[in-house]
Amino acid sequence: MINWKIQLKGTWTLLKKELLRFWRVVFQTVAAPVITGILYLLIFSHVLDGRTEVYAGVSYSAFLIPGLIMMSLLQNAFANSSSSLVQSKVMGNIVFILLTPITYIQFFIAFLIAAIVRGLFVGLTIYLLASFYIDLPIMYPGYVFSFAILGGALLGTFGIIAGIWADRFDQMAAYQNFVIMPLSFLSGVFYSIHSLPPFWQKISHFNPFFYMIDGFRYGFFGQSDTSPHLSFLIVLTFFIILTGLSIKLLKTGYKLRG
C-alpha cells in the first residue's frame, strides 16, 4: 500500500497542473466569460431596469446579477474539466497521468477541485465588477457559498463525464451548445419562473440548473421561486448520482484505458 503522503502529493500535483493549465490561458478561461457576463448585465439591465420588478424591493439589475454569476460559474466549471480531459485525450498526453500510480479517486478529486476553483474565480470576478455598477449585499453568505461550491462541483463532475465520453472537440462543443447552454439559459437566470405559463413552470422544475440558480439567488435576497432547502437537496442528489457515474467510468477506465 502506498502511504498517504505520497498519495496526497500526487493529488496535489495533478490539481496544481490543472489549475496552472487554465491560468496559462486566463484570457480565454476567465477574462472572456467575465466580459460576456458583464455585457449581459449591461444590456439586459439597460433594457429592463425600471420596467419590471421580479421580487418585491429588488431591482431587475440586482435580480439578474446572482443569476449571471451562477450561470458563468456553472458553465466554466463544466468547461474546465471537460476541455482539459478531451484535450489530453486528443493530444495523447493523458498517458502521462495514466502511467502513474494516481488512483481514480485522486484523479476525480483533482479535476473536481480545479473545476470548482475556476468556476468560483469567474463568478467572484463578475460579482466584484458588478459591485461597481450596483450595490448588491449578500443576505445569507452561507447559502451563496454552499450553492456556489455544490453547483461548481456538480458541473465539474458532469464535465468529467463529458470529457471521458467525448473523443473529439466537436462532440464536446455539442455538449456545450445543446445541453449546458439551453439548460443554463432556461433556468431562470434572466427571469423568475413564476412569470412563465404553468406548463413551462412545470418543465423548469426538471431543470437542475434552476435549483442551483434559485438557491444561490436566495442567499442574496432571502427570496426564491422554490424552497432553498429543497433546491439544495435536489442539487446534492444530482451531484451524488453524477459522482457515482463519474467514479465508475474512471474506475473501469472507460475510453481511457484499452
User: Binders of another protein among 84-143, rule CB under 8 A?
Assistant: 88, 91-93, 95-103
Q: How many whole angstroms separate alpha carbon 163 and alpha carbon 35?
A: 25
Residue 42 binds another protein (CB under 8 A) = no
Residue 7 binds another protein (CB under 8 A) = yes
Residue 12 binds another protein (CB under 8 A) = yes
DSSP state of 193: G
Which residue's CB is nearer to another protein, number 3 or number 137? 3
Q: How many whole angstroms separate alpha carbon 150 and alpha carbon 95?
A: 30
C-alpha cell at 31: 477574462
DSSP state of 180: I
Residue 20 binds another protein (CB under 8 A) = yes
Q: How many whole angstroms separate alpha carbon 143 and alpha carbon 229?
A: 10
Residue 19 binds another protein (CB under 8 A) = no
Q: How many whole angstroms separate alpha carbon 215 and alpha carbon 128?
A: 20
Which residue's CB is nearer to another protein, number 7 or number 201? 7
Least CB distance to another protein at residue 118 (A): 14
Contact 88, 94 (CB under 8 A): yes
C-alpha cell at 160: 468529467
Which residue's CB is nearer to another protein, number 92 or number 142? 92
Site size for another protein (CB under 8 A): 32
| Footprint of another protein (CB under 8 A) | 1-2, 5-7, 9-10, 12-14, 16-17, 20-21, 24-25, 88, 91-93, 95-103, 253, 257-258
